[in-house]
Amino acid sequence: MKYEPRIEDLLHGDERTHETAVRLLVEAFDNPVRYDEQRIRVELAPAPTLFYRKFFVAYHGDEVVGVGGVKSADWASNTHILYLSAVAPAARGKGVAKALVQARIDWVRAGFTAGCILVSTTHKKRFAGYGFRPLREDEAAGRTLMVLDFPES
């Protein structure tokens, strides 16, 4: 049987899913100074329309196996950022991260006529497959800042 995650919006009234998303993110980042539980909860809360934050949850059956966010950059117009992504250890390598990336790209492109999407990643090949190109590498942190432009059609 093929492992096919189902991607849905994180609904703010769904406390069980919200708590699972918080736990996944806190455990995945394992950095209490930068990504403590309180900060994660604030990030998962709804944001004003102008500077939106939106999260998607990946399910396998009824189990939450991943979460990923996208937000508007408050410092540049028409700029969106993929951030706070995590996949449960048992679901890694099964396409969950890819499905979450695609869902967020599709959501941005459906809602905005032009702009760019940024991501800071250790997975350059994965994002290059979606059309992202590198902007800058931080060798010390092992991360690459990448951009996906989508011109007005």
Q: What is the pLDDT of residue 51?
A: 82
CB atoms within 10 A of CB 60: 17
C-alpha triplet 127, 17, 70: angle, nearest 5°: 30
Per-residue model confidence as pLDDT tens for the chain (153 residues): 578 899 999 988 899 999 999 999 999 988 888 889 999 998 998 876 678 899 999 999 999 999 999 999 988 888 999 999 999 999 999 999 999 999 999 999 999 988 999 999 999 999 999 999 999 777 667 889 999 998 876
| Prediction pTM value | 0.87
Q: What is the pLDDT of residue 30?
A: 84
Rounded CA gap, 6 and 57, in Å? 8
Domain boundaries, the chain: 6-150
Establish how many alpha carbons lie within 13 A of residue 110's alpha carbon, considering only the half-sphere containing its beta carbon. Answer: 6
Question: What would be the CATH architecture of the domain defined by 6-150?
Answer: 3-Layer(aba) Sandwich (3.40)
Q: What is the pLDDT of residue 140?
A: 61
Rounded CA gap, 97 and 102, in Å? 9
